[in-house]
Structure 1
Amino acid sequence: MADGTTRFHHGGEDVFHYGPATNAPLTVVAERAVVSVDPAMPLDLAALIGCAATTGVGAVRNTARVRPGEAVAVLGCGGVGISALHAAALAGAYPVIAVDVRPDKFAALIRMGATHCVDATAPDAADQIREIAGRGVDYAFVTTSAASAFPLAMGALAVRGTCVLIAGYPDGVALGFDPGHLLNGERRIVASKYGSSNPPVDFPDLVDMYLAGRLDLAAMVSHRWRVDQMDEAYDALRSGAATRGLIVFDTESAG
């Protein structure tokens, strides 16, 4: 809560789960934490705006401000990554390279705007990315804390390219890089927290993009689970099998 306490407890211990997230059909939040949006917005898809879409789209639009023709790679194509991928395509970036450990997701990623896909587990993944882009990418968005992702992103950058760090890492984790690679190519590392967003402004804007048919939130959703299937949802999250999943309380919407 705003005062540093939590209203959720289990076994006498405080439970922190991203503020109001409860896996419950109803919750109570402070008035200032509520953003009014167009009532035409489907609430199940609005759930994506509350986190993944704002983080991924915002990293492209607000943090990096990707321009047409700039080369982009997205490393890790779950909910945040697929949102960044889609936003890069909407911004006119080219190429837009999806980099993931699950090749079975590549067809879905191409439908969301990827022009090329690279298997992140390939030993020459960085070489493949640089070859596709011709000289390396202008922006590499790191949405996964997998140990190989950050060095892969740095190795794929063009001269004056930027690594945009979105992934959350456990406290105390240190990332290493070659200072000479950074300095000699005038490369940069920037962080993007929640898409550098301002929710009262960005949420309605993303809703308007969806209602105008530009932001394809529905296509991002690969799975829907009922509440009693929650363990399956978390298994898919851990394995990377889902692009974006939804836990729904309307049993007719799951499947």
Structure 2
Amino acid sequence: MLTGAGSVLNGARVRPGESVAVIGVGGVGLNAIGAARIAGASPIIAVDVRDGVLRRARAFGATDVVNSSCADAVAAVRELTGGGVRHALDVVGVAATAEQALRMTALGGGVHLVGLAAGRAHLKLSLPRLLLEQKRIQGLVMGSGDPRRDIPRYADLYLRGRMNLDDLVSRRIGLHEIDAGYAALRDPDVARVVITSF
């Protein structure tokens, strides 16, 4: 929640009417999509390799979905937006998806790196192209948030029915089931596992 929603609201500072693409639609990506909806973004494009999570993304506010396992994600996003998005969030954290985010961003847009990349991941840049296209690249840790400010804010949005948290919870477990809970997160149909009892 803090990372996904915060990356949109605090880091990217998405404004009404700005276009957003979210690459990687797990729990963090779903929260980013939900926050983009709250911010008034349009369109909001979810990009992933799994149809099931892309269907779920629509319940969080995605206006369009792209399955990058069977379509060129960059071409699809650029076509949907008439030239690229204002904000592209890479929630996956690998070089290939960061490069996709850079290429699907429009002139003057922002690339927001949210997913934690492995130590040897590198992003190749054309400095002249980056300069001429006036793009920004921003790394975001924990959604550039302040938990004391953001948690009450998100709780209020949830209680007013504006933020969808219920559909994130795929499974409820006891603390003694924590190993099975972590294992369940490998299943693409599981968004989040919540510990409800000790």
CA 1:240–1:180 in structure 2 vs 1: closer, same or farther (change >3 Å)? farther
1:148 equivalent to 2:96? Answer yes
State the shift of 1:190 in Å.
0.7
Q: Describe how 1:143-222 pairs up with structure 2 within 5 A.
A: 143-222=91-170
2:20 matched to which residue of 1?
A: 72
Q: Give the AA of the match of 1:234.
A: Y
CA distance in 2, matches of 1:126, 1:241: 25
Encode CA deviations 1:39-85: one digit per residue, 9 max, x unaligned. Answer: xxxxxxxxxxxxxx111111111111101111100011111111000
Q: Percent identity?
A: 38
1:150-176 per-residue CA deviation (whole Å, 9 max, x = no partner) reads 111111111111100111123343222
2:51 is equivalent to residue 103 of structure 1: yes
- Counterpart-to-counterpart distance in 2, 1:126 and 1:185: 16
TM-score, reference length from structure 1: 0.72
Kindly tell me: are residues 158 and 240 of structure 1, through their superposed partners in 2, closer, same or farther at Cα, counting changes over 3 Å?
same
4+ runs of 1 displaced by more than 6 Å?
none
**TM-score normalised by structure 2 residue count:** 0.91
Which deviates more from structure 2 when the two are superposed, residues 230-239 or residues 66-75? 230-239
Does the CA contact (< 8 Å) of 1:137 and 1:158 recur in 2?
Answer: yes
Q: Which has the larger radius of gyration?
A: 1
* Separation of aligned partners in 2, 1:242 and 1:176: 33
SS at match of 1:245: strand
Structure 1 SS opposite 2:161: coil
Q: RMSD in angstroms over aligned alpha carbons?
A: 1.9
Q: CA 1:236/1:118 → structure 2, altered by over 3 Å: closer, same or farther?
A: farther
Note the C-alpha offset of 1:246. 2.2
Partner of 1:91: 39
**Structure with the bigger percentage of strand:** 2
Q: Is 1:112–1:220's contact at 8 Å kept on the other side of the alignment? A: no
Distance 1:231 1:147 in 2: 30
Aligned partners of 1:142 and 1:167 also within 8 Å: yes
Quote the offset at 1:210 in angstroms: 1.2
Structure 2: runs of 5+ lacking an equivalent = none
Determine helix, strand or coil for the equivalent of 1:117: strand
Alignment check: 8 A CA contact 1:102 1:241 kept: no
2: CA distance, partners of 1:243 / 1:177: 33
Stretches of structure 1 that go unaligned for 5 or more consecutive residues are 1-52, 251-255
Rate the CA distance shift 1:240–1:184 in 2: closer, same or farther, 3 A. farther
